[in-house]
Structure 1
Amino acid sequence: MSEHPQLPHQSQPAPPPQPSSQPHGQTPPQPPPGAGLPPGYTPAALSPTEERNLGMVAHLVPAVLLPLSAGTLGFVGSLVIYLMYKDRGPFVRQHAANSLNVQIITAILLVASSVLMLVLIGFIAYPLVIIVATVIHIMGAVKANNGEWWQPPMTPQIVR
């Protein structure tokens, strides 16, 4: 019988190693950082309109998710936007960080409200925290859409 040609999924033998032209103990010169990477690996700067829109989205996503998920998914939206766009422009970074800060304080207050449910006051505090956080996010979305730098009220700057 005749030999079968080698199928593409079968591995080929590795070529023999080439002798190094570098003297023993020296490392070869390294390419500059980012050399050889596809263009998608370097974040491009955003236009002012894109920064405003993303700053607004950084507040709108949690504003929608907070009431729909009883306060559990707003944090995820803020975190994803912060991590994806924090290096793309100062305006979107500040608004995404503000959104994340609001979510951190909201999570702390929701945990405290959950504990206070043992003495019944938490049943009033829990929805109140969600309403206040949603209003703060809506205010932030309006400010971002107008291109205004803004620090949310009653919110310490944990993430910068």
Structure 2
Amino acid sequence: MKTNKQLLVIMHLSQLITLVTGFGSLLLPLVLWLTQKEKVYEMDEHGKNIINFQLSLIVYCLICVPLILVFGLGLLGFVVLGVFSILFPIINAIKASNGETPTYPLSINFIN
């Protein structure tokens, strides 16, 4: 296995593809993770963190839909999730470039 910090950074930033295309924040990191997890050192750990974060965002978005009826709390939830989905991939890309292990808040462990 080789160390490739640039690919780890790209993988974290690939979640932001949704800002350009409207979709792909789960798909692109998933493809990168599945194709490179055996070849790049720490790719498996970073990939699992990203996939768990993206799946958690989907679950939280589904929870926000019925909460719209409760005083608009779902709308506030969507705003918070939107900020999280932009901010934390950037923060964790910086951490990955510095050799640190990234963490995503409120992430449910779907994949260990």
- Moved runs in structure 1, 4+ residues, more than 4 A? none
Match of residue 142, structure 1, among 81, 87, 94: 94
Q: Which residue of 1 aligns with 2:11?
A: 58
Q: Which residue of 2 aligns with 1:40?
A: none
* Deviation of the 1:99 alpha carbon: 1.0
Identical pairs, percent: 21
Partner amino acid for 1:103?
A: Q
The answer for unaligned runs of 5 or more in structure 1 is 1-44
* Deviation of the 1:131 alpha carbon: 0.9
Q: Which has the higher contact order (CA 8 A, sep 6+)?
A: 2
Q: Deviations over 1:80-125 (max 9, x none)?
A: 1111112113411111111111101111111111222233222221
Question: Are residues 1:117 and 2:68 paired?
Answer: yes
Q: Which residue of 2 aligns with 1:5?
A: none
* Deviation of the 1:144 alpha carbon: 0.9
Once superposed, what is the RMSD of the aligned Cα atoms?
1.9
Q: Deviations over 1:42-73 (max 9, x none)?
A: xxx3x32x2x11211111010x224442xx42
Q: Which residue of 2 aligns with 1:94?
A: 45
Which has the larger helix fraction?
2
* Deviation of the 1:76 alpha carbon: 1.0
Find the aligned partners of 2:24 and 2:67 in 1 and give their Cα distance.
21
- Number of residue pairs matched by the alignment: 110
Find the aligned partners of 2:66 and 2:8 in 1 and give their Cα distance.
33
Pick the structure with greater CA Rg. 1
